[in-house]
Structure 1
Amino acid sequence: MASCYVAEYATPRKNGWRAKGSFRFESDHRAMSKRNLFDARMKLLETYGADAVSWTVTKTERAKKGGGAKWR
């Protein structure tokens, strides 16, 4: 059964400025493992499209229940 995770991402620097953000995704693998990061990367690309190709996932962690997000 997949668990819900929160991933943080960062865009490349442009003129000294870097955007950062986060999103939720599901994965069967432990946080920050290669497969978990791969699942996060796929969700990042699915959500943000071609713009996200140069973005990097910097961190993943298990989402906390009751944090305002929907659990499936």
Structure 2
Amino acid sequence: MYSVEYDLRSKAGNSFSPAVALEDEIQFLRLKMEEIVLLEQSFTSDNVILISSMLDVKINEYMKINPRKA
């Protein structure tokens, strides 16, 4: 199984605020998910589901830090 956590940890030192760090993680996870979908040619593989779940968590964290004002 692919280890996204290692890649995220290696990028963590490059950010200067929690929101920017989350934006970087979200972008990274989106790109990785797209890459794995193309490689495995499946939207429902275990790796895609794992990254999708991680992406959901990061997006929720980001929305708590930066709530949208209606």
Band the TM-score falls in, shorter-chain normalisation: 0.3 to 0.5
More helix by proportion, 1 or 2?
2
TM-score (norm 2): 0.34
